[in-house]
Amino acid sequence: MNSFTAENYLKALFTTSNESEEVTVNELSKQLNIKMPTVTSMMKKLAEKKLVYYESYKPLRLTAKGKKEASRIIRKHRLTEMFLTQQMGFGWEDVHAIAEQVEHIQSREFFEKMDELLGYPRFDPHGSPIPDKNGKIERKNFNKLSECKAGEQVILAAVINTSVEFLKSLNRRDLKLGLQLKIKSISPADKTMEVSYGKRKSEKFSHVVCEQLLIENILKKA
Amino acid sequence: MNSFTAENYLKALFTTSNESEEVTVNELSKQLNIKMPTVTSMMKKLAEKKLVYYESYKPLRLTAKGKKEASRIIRKHRLTEMFLTQQMGFGWEDVHAIAEQVEHIQSREFFEKMDELLGYPRFDPHGSPIPDKNGKIERKNFNKLSECKAGEQVILAAVINTSVEFLKSLNRRDLKLGLQLKIKSISPADKTMEVSYGKRKSEKFSHVVCEQLLIENILKKA
DNA sequence: GTATAAAGTTAGATTCATCTAACAAATTTA
DNA sequence: TAAATTTGTTAGATGAATCTAACTTTATAC
């Protein structure tokens, strides 16, 4: 089995799995844009390699080995995204497509060097955590901006939607991770939020947009 | 046909071809470590795509289109090698293996950014020319150190042998591109050269080694 | 200048990742 | 709970890249 192919299945299994760490053949098929019979047959092969648990008609689950392998790939992807923005000057909207390719490079040294040059970052340019070398992922419980109340002050910590269009729309409004946002008001009609940040004193964000933005509460000094 | 595969054939055709730009099936087969029948069948496919001229029992030749495509890949390879040494801190002995993988990445922007960050370099870390965007290659007529005479002063411009072992052996002797070498004497018995450079006042290089080192004559002021 | 060796091709097999068509199981719905 | 829908599997085909075995052409050597 081509490592490229297997890696893409593992990554999809990892990122698509719900809280119970399960994925259905159907979900995976849609995610990868590969027909179900192909997925089934690949799952059998990955099961032989002890990377997934596979039983007919049951949801799929990564084994510990599979999880480790998957997070190794996600680590490479996210380190690459970080490298592309921090060291090469790409915008956060441009890095995904390139990282999808770079993540398959087989060279421990290459990614270790990136990590070192970046100062061992813990989050990628979209705020997603970078798994450590053992596959451990820092789980921060960020809340959605849409769940905040008027008057709150929060910090933009991550974006859920990482599509080029969405990120470009955020660029147009000078929105970046780390910015402090102040919620001035929320429209009762459609939940549109009026927010101020940086030099922008009054920006309106639709509810749909607010659901794609993850925030961190500002730490209170003891 | 997978672009990865085709790219490797094109690259090999380009780098293996002699002055008359011809390569035999046998040579290509050895170069790529792929059996002759496989090469033959791939050549027929590349011929359909107008990338090579193929006629039964005749040597292979890249078309103009094929040459352009091949030098695009070599450009990506060499830019990557340069990026790895200059921007990431790798040694010249470590970059080839990584560049073999990175060269297949499909992203104009990625390589343009590298080029820009590097200041549009014209040679890679081993002294090989980096093809320009149109596939044009600067041909410098470097001479072999082995052909120099005692008393000459020259500059180390490139290495022919880019194997890890050879480059490490040069590292051990503090030899780098750009160094000025002074040929102190040549043993009549085995053509071993006694050379001085930098802080090294007397280093001996066997004839075999001297054949792997390309030099540039020092420019005389007008 | 024929015999031998080397190089190249053809034919046919294999493995991988994919597909479609047909069938089976599980889930949802009426 | 039986019918309809969705999900999943099996079987069989396809195209890509590779191989080996057998054959043909070209080059080399005596």
B29-44 tens-digit pLDDT:
999 999 999 999 999 9
What pLDDT score was predicted for residue A218?
84
Q: Could you give the CA distance from residue B165 to residue B93 in angstroms, rounded to a whole number?
A: 8
Residue with the two structure tokens 């974006």: A159
Q: Which residues of A touch B (CB under 8 A)?
A: 84, 87-90, 94, 97-98, 101-102, 104-107, 109-110, 113-114, 117
Is the Cα dihedral A115, A120, A123, A126 positive or negative?
negative
**Which residues make Cβ contacts (< 8 Å) with residue A135, sequence separation at least 6?**
A67, A68, A70, A71, A72, A75
- Nearest to A32, CA basis, from A15, A54, A50: A15
Instruction: Say if CB B139 and CB B129 are below 8 A apart.
Output: yes
**Please, which pLDDT band fits residue A18 given cuts at 50, 70 and 90?**
confident
What pLDDT score was predicted for residue A178?
96
Q: Could you give the CA distance from residue A63 to residue A91 in angstroms, rounded to a whole number?
A: 35
User: CA–C1' span, B1 to C8, in Å?
Assistant: 23
Specify the DSSP class assigned to residue B93: T
Instruction: Say if CB A102 and CB A42 are below 8 A apart.
Output: no
In this prediction, residues B158-163 reach a mean pLDDT of 96
pLDDT digits (tens, 9 = 90+) for B65-116: 999 999 999 999 999 999 999 999 999 999 999 999 999 999 999 999 999 9
Collapse the DSSP code of A182 into the 3-class scheme (helix H, G, I; strand E, B; otherwise coil) and give the result. strand
Q: Could you say which of B98, B110, B117 has the minimum Cβ distance to residue A107? A: B98
- Cβ–Cβ gap A102/B98 under 8 Å: no
Q: How many of the other CB atoms lie within 10 Å of CB of B101?
A: 18
pLDDT digits (tens, 9 = 90+) for A194-210: 999 999 999 999 999 99
Q: Could you give the CA distance from residue B21 to residue A71 in angstroms, rounded to a whole number?
A: 46
**Which residues make Cβ contacts (< 8 Å) with residue B38, sequence separation at least 6?**
B29
Radius of gyration of chain B (CA): 20
Q: Is 90 exceeded by the pLDDT of residue A167? A: yes
Smallest Cα–C1' distance to nucleotide C10: which residue has it? B37
Instruction: Say if CB B201 and CB B195 are below 8 A apart.
Output: no
Q: Which two tokens stand for residue A41?
A: 């047959």
Instruction: Say if CB A200 and CB A173 are below 8 A apart.
Output: yes
Q: Residue B3 corresponds to which amino acid? A: S
Alpha carbon A213 to its chain centroid, in Å, reads 12
Q: Is 90 exceeded by the pLDDT of residue B117? A: yes
Alpha carbon B103 to its chain centroid, in Å, reads 14
User: CA–C1' span, B174 to C3, in Å?
Assistant: 56
Q: Could you give the CA distance from residue A73 to residue A101 in angstroms, rounded to a whole number?
A: 11
What pLDDT score was predicted for residue A139?
87
- Cβ–Cβ gap A89/B113 under 8 Å: yes
**Mutation test of the interface with chain B: which of A81, A86, A103, A107, choosing the one with the most B Cβ atoms within 10 A?**
A107
Span between the terminal Cα atoms of chain B, in Å:
55
- Name residue A176's beta-bridge partners: none
- Cβ–Cβ gap A90/B101 under 8 Å: no
**Please, which pLDDT band fits residue B139 given cuts at 50, 70 and 90?**
confident
Q: Is 90 exceeded by the pLDDT of residue A17? A: no
> Using a CB-CB distance cutoff of 8 angstroms, which residues of chain B are in contact with residue A92?
none
pLDDT digits (tens, 9 = 90+) for A53-74: 999 999 999 999 999 999 999 9
What pLDDT score was predicted for residue B221?
56
